[in-house]
Structure 1
């Protein structure tokens, strides 16, 4: 397969995703990595792994819509030229614009990796307007995503609350980016007084101000303790200014070490790792690297950070924006010289058990079906404009022409069964999205002496049987087709929880809109077992074409006129195709 990976920073392609991309190549896939910056060192490292690089325009922290349109245009052009099977994007702008581009180009699977919601979604931070716009862009971009990977449950909950994630989305929580234990082996603690290290971009939201203030408090009691800050400046408006950094250094409370691409020796030289962030993290990679090195952790009780600390075992969680609580946690290590070693050992074990990059990548590759021997995953088709236009045209024209007949049927239903004349029921639509299906009512509300509804056979009327046998009870579904809940032709919409072939088979079936009629309905329908219907539906999903749809329409007329009959040859062919696809 051809895979395009879209990032907002070239360095992250190796530092955060290098192992994942390498495993993709090792599995025989053609991988193209994209980022906005030309980083010669990273491009060379990608080439050594057999990965090609494409530069795309992108202003990571900017809000200029013209610049963002240039990003979208570039991604659309890239996807049309390369025709990838899979697009994987991570961080905000790559997810939004790669997701939109895949919807425009179509015929590829899209996976979004939400490595953190970021500054805009941080509590008390960001503009309401920007948050609203970004939420809506997210919602459209990932509407047809094959899966959305999240690093913590809080992000998934927030995205659902904002309407970004819908009930049909396949959401998979993974333990961050993982950590390469060979690059970050366990190291002995340095001798002497505790050394507290913060590694982060120099953003205020990372808690730099709180770190400095806590350092002042600790040094009043333990002046021998050292406090180090390591990390790059950032174009983000939340970045700490150079003047403030210089004042901190001149005060002698903290030492700023600059930036580096090799944090391992700095982690080895520290006793305790500190990240007092209130930025909306995913699951900070720096914490995982510190844990693998065998360092105790002090971080905030916030999304993405709380997952890394088992309270009192490998570190401490403190409230965000609270330098006093942070200082108190630091003082624990100054007062108890052996605490850093005890907690550091537990950190290393926790990293090995949960956050090893091999375990994380196995989840990601398995979800994307990129491991050797994985069955293929159907491409979720984009909304075909011609098919949708036909659905709209037919539902409007048929609705107008049949309106007198529909009104007459409604009158007969009302006279024979009472009101309401319509029956509404929640069904599963494309991608598992729930909708309310409407049909003509075919049963009364007759009840026994205790007030319980009688069995269906006792409640269905003669006219109701006629409606079902003739399929006329489904005429109101023209409204569902017009709304876009359904199509004229496709697998019939399922009741929630119906899964005779397992959830994977149902997900494969749900890549298409459900239909008013379908392949199972013209080859036996109610005479078939649930398993037979599923096999026929899956065959149709794999073989849908204009010729097949015309055949279904013609056979539907035959079923209405002559009744249902099981077509055994088609059922056997469907099962044969179903087994070949690995279900």
Structure 2
């Protein structure tokens, strides 16, 4: 494919805001090079369509049914994408997250799209083991998803994963044989947007930012916050993210922690920067099958020490003892000890924060990441 020839490029994901937040820089760069960029998403409304058009992209709606195992729903998704790829004469598909990567790649292959990029940003809930392993339902879903990976991913022209564990598990657990696999690392952040600032230590504040899902470790964070507050009432704990009723912590539960003075609950915000800047330490006790958490990359860029787990993706964001601490998944005692270490040694936090920023500059600069992506895309 000639680098000089303008391409019709389809970005196929889920939510519009996630696409713009995580893929926007790359999409703008491609549009600036003269390529026609199509933004495929499932939640368009009049406002978001207008926003996409103002940015120079072309919005395309399609339907996708989350973790549903309904074959008719999946076939509808496949048909919609196939027709859209044909209609818009797509010459390159860039499909990210598990289901879009599966059905987008299959549709692109059927539509004879020349370049088909599949990007797996973490293996997700079917590969996420709780304290007692996978439920029977999730074991079945995992088998189905592995079968779909085997069907779809070899039909991509390149597969991108964010960490070595995902590459290993796709090959060993799902039996996906993909010679053209690129381990990208994080998707990167804009270092100008997430600027480094000194670590505030008075009061010492620990922040959790993300979806308030059990797998993200929110319950472990709350448990440890309660323990540490009993010993060090001056320490503050902040939760930033929307409450949920499925697979996570509900608003009434959070209000009980607020009432007892354990946490300050902020809720969902569009801009996390002020909340990370006003915190001392970023905490993500996740056991979810992450790709490489974007929220942690943002905290690194702002220059915050990080406490996270030894799980896939998470472990790639911390050099233990240098810019933070890694703890075993599901181990609240180890998590508490890491938090107490920060409380008892606030003098270490600034040097840890600088080490975090250095890691962000070396490994998670979105411009460097996009340069690598453009090489993979041959654009």
Task: Mark the CA change 1:40 to 1:317 in structure 2 (over 3 Å): closer, same or farther.
Answer: farther
Report the CA distance between 1:255 and its aligned residue. 2.0
What is the match of residue 86 of structure 1?
A: 92
- Contact 1:36–1:57 (Cα < 8 Å) also in 2: yes
Q: Which residue of 1 aligns with 2:265?
A: 256
Q: What residue number does 2:4 align with?
A: none
Task: Give the Å deviation of 1:307.
Answer: 0.6
In the alignment, the residues of structure 1 paired with residue 340 and residue 45 of structure 2 have an alpha-carbon distance, to the nearest angstrom, of 41
Rg comparison, structure with higher value: 1
What is the Cα deviation at residue 311 of structure 1?
1.1
Which ranges of structure 2 fall in alignment gaps of 5 or more residues?
1-6
Bigger relative contact order, structure 1 or 2 (CA pairs below 8 A, ≥6 apart): 2
Cα contact 1:214–1:323 (8 A) shared by 2:
yes
8 Å CA contact 2:40, 2:59 repeated in 1: yes
Question: What are the superposed Cα offsets for residues 140-170 of structure 1, whole Å, 9 maximum, x if unpaired?
Answer: 111121111110000000000123420x530
1:160 alignment partner, one of 160, 165, 171: 171
- Normalised by the length of structure 2, the TM-score is 0.93
With structure 1 as the length reference, what TM-score do the two structures score? 0.61
- Counterpart selection for 1:241 from 235, 250, 269: 250
Counterparts of 1:286 and 1:251 in 2: how far apart (Å)? Answer: 27
Matched-pair contact (CA < 8 Å) for 1:10–1:39: no
CA offset at residue 257 of structure 1?
0.9
Match of 1:77 among 83, 86, 104: 83
Check whether the contact 2:117–2:159 (CA below 8 A) recurs between aligned residues: yes
Moved more, 261-270 or 246-255: 246-255
Aligned to 2:3: none
- Report if the CA contact (8 A) 2:159-2:180 is conserved: yes
User: Which residue pairs with 2:101 in the alignment?
Assistant: 95
1:116-127 → structure 2 map (5 Å cutoff):
116-123=122-129, 124-125=133-134, 127=138
CA contact (8 A) 2:92 2:113 kept: no
Counterpart Cα distance in 1 of 2:297 and 2:65: 28
The aligned residue for residue 204 of structure 1 is: 214
Q: Any conservation in 2 of the 1:11–1:39 contact (CA below 8 Å)?
A: no
Contact residue 198 and residue 230 of structure 1 kept, 8 A: yes
User: Which structure 2 residues correspond to residues 419-438 of structure 1 after superposition, within 5 A?
Assistant: none
1:47 aligned residue (47, 53, 59)? 53
CA RMSD of aligned residues (A): 1.6
Structure 1 unaligned regions, length at least 5: 371-583
Match of 1:268 among 277, 284, 304: 277
Number of residue pairs the alignment of both structures matches: 368
Q: State the partner residue of 1:303.
A: 312
CA pair 41-262 structure 1, distance change in 2 beyond 3 A: farther
Structure 1 partner of 2:116: 110
Matched, 1:319 2:325: no
Between the aligned partners of 1:353 and 1:294, the Cα distance in structure 2 is 13
C-alpha contact (below 8 Å) 2:102/2:149 kept by paired residues: yes
C-alpha distance in structure 1 between counterparts of 2:104 and 2:175, whole Å: 16
The aligned residue for residue 31 of structure 1 is 37
Residue 227 of structure 1 pairs with residue 237 of structure 2: yes
Q: Does 1:178 align with 2:179?
A: no
CA contact (8 A) 2:207 2:281 kept: yes
Question: Does residue 146 of the first structure (1) align with residue 149 of the second (2)?
Answer: no
Pairs within 5 Å for 1:374-453: none
Distance 2:294 2:244 in 1: 17
Task: Specify the alignment match of 1:532 in structure 2.
Answer: none
Equivalence for 1:545: none
Q: Does 1:62 align with 2:68?
A: yes
The question of whether the paired residues in 2 share the 8 Å contact of 1:25 and 1:49 is answered with no
How many angstroms apart in 2 are the aligned matches of 1:159 and 1:320? 21
Shift of 1:328: 0.7
Distance in 2, Cα, partners of 1:274 & 1:53: 36
